[in-house]
Amino acid sequence: MRIDVISLFPEFVAQCAGFGVVGRAQERGLLALHGWNPRDYAEGNYRRVDDRPFGGGPGMVMLIDPLRACLQAARAADPTPAHVVYLSPQGQPLTQAKVRELAGRERLVLLCGRYEGVDERLVQAEVDEELSIGDYVLSGGELAAAVVVDAVARLQEGALNDAESAAQDSFEDGLLDCPHYTRPVEHALGKVPDVLLSGNHADIARWRRMQALGRTFLRRPDLLDPATLAPADRRLLDEFLARQGGEPGAGT
Ligand code: 6GU
């Protein structure tokens, strides 16, 4: 997969993508990341990329022409047609389902705004989809682009070492992940739950499912409507709630 990032700080996104799973995906040739700076396509001695908003108000708006020339250069660098995503707080929320869809594309262009945003005419003419990574304000789209690159890179075939681990992630089945433990069994901070030491794989799978259901219910009720649960899951959730006394404890 190829991702082109259009940003006033393209090195920032590249740096974010240099480590861990994403860095390895690049080394393995599963992901090619390219940065493009609209300032390199701006005219004049000052290489202006922004101007004051018509109608007044604070902040600056990114100019059409440097962005468009930059986008054109990025498109022309490879014959593969690109799906152009503009990262902005006005976009549709990024979900794991959307990540999966983006990860299946051959080529993405991620357009990062700075200042108050980019001229709406550029968005209308060149952008296929506008995405946000949450209901809070960042000073630019770069962190959001890094989020997209990471989430999409780890879904590329061969990016993860354990083929299982992506399928078991939080959200892949609509639930939060269960808790995890490693050595030592006994620690001053507590003991590992017995079931995980039992070697009984059916019991372990059942316990994990129960924890995933319980945590999702307590922490993210927006993700789980008990009324729509399969009867077996409903029983597991009831058991979880009965066991912890129905109290949303601080440790859950
Ligand atoms: Cl994609 N951009 C900015 N600037 N702020 C955000 C965002 C994106 N998503 C959430 N907040």
What CATH number has the domain bearing residue 188?
Answer: 1.10.1270.20
Q: Which amino acid is at 54?
A: F
Q: Are residues 34 and 114 in the same domain?
A: yes
Domain count, the chain: 2
Is 174 domain-assigned? yes
Q: How far apart are CA 62 and CA 124, in angstroms?
A: 14
Q: Are residues 14 and 114 in the same domain?
A: yes
Ranges of H-type helices in the chain: 10-16, 20-27, 64-76, 96-103, 120-126, 142-153, 201-219, 231-243
For the stretch 145-161, pLDDT in tens is: 999 999 999 999 999 98
Q: What is the mean pLDDT of the chain?
A: 94
Q: Which of 8, 84, 87 to mutate to test the pocket of ligand 1 (most atoms within 8 A of CB)?
A: 87
Query: Pocket around ligand 1: residues whose beta carbon is below 6 Å from it?
Result: 87-89, 91, 132-134, 136-138, 140-141, 144
Ranges of H-type helices in 82-189: 96-103, 120-126, 142-153
Is 210 domain-assigned? yes
Q: What is the pLDDT of residue 198?
A: 98
Beta strand 2-6 with 107-112 is parallel
Q: What is the pLDDT of residue 164?
A: 54
pLDDT over threshold 50, residue 47: yes
Q: Report residue 249's pLDDT band, with 50, 70 and 90 as the boundaries.
A: very low
Catalytic entry in 24, 89, 177, 234 = 89
Q: Are residues 119 and 9 in the same domain?
A: yes
Q: Are residues 138 and 229 in the same domain?
A: no
Is 160 domain-assigned? no
Q: Which of 86, 94, 127, 133 to mutate to test the pocket of ligand 1 (most atoms within 8 A of CB)?
A: 133
Q: How far apart are CA 196 and CA 210, in angstroms?
A: 13
Among 118, 153, 188, the domain boundary falls at 153
Q: Are residues 136 and 191 in the same domain?
A: no
Q: Report residue 62's pLDDT band, with 50, 70 and 90 as the boundaries.
A: very high
Q: What is the pLDDT of residue 161?
A: 87
CATH code, domain with 10: 3.40.1280.10
Catalytic annotation present for 179: no
Whole-number Cα distances in Å, 231 to 5, 202, 237, 245: 46, 18, 10, 21
pLDDT, average across residues 132-151: 97
pLDDT, average across residues 154-171: 82
Q: Are residues 176 and 74 in the same domain?
A: no
Among 102, 122, 153, the domain boundary falls at 153
Structural domain including 251 reads 168-252
Q: Are residues 131 and 174 in the same domain?
A: no
Q: Are residues 198 and 149 in the same domain?
A: no
Catalytic annotation present for 173: no
For 30, phi then psi, to 5°, come to -85, -20
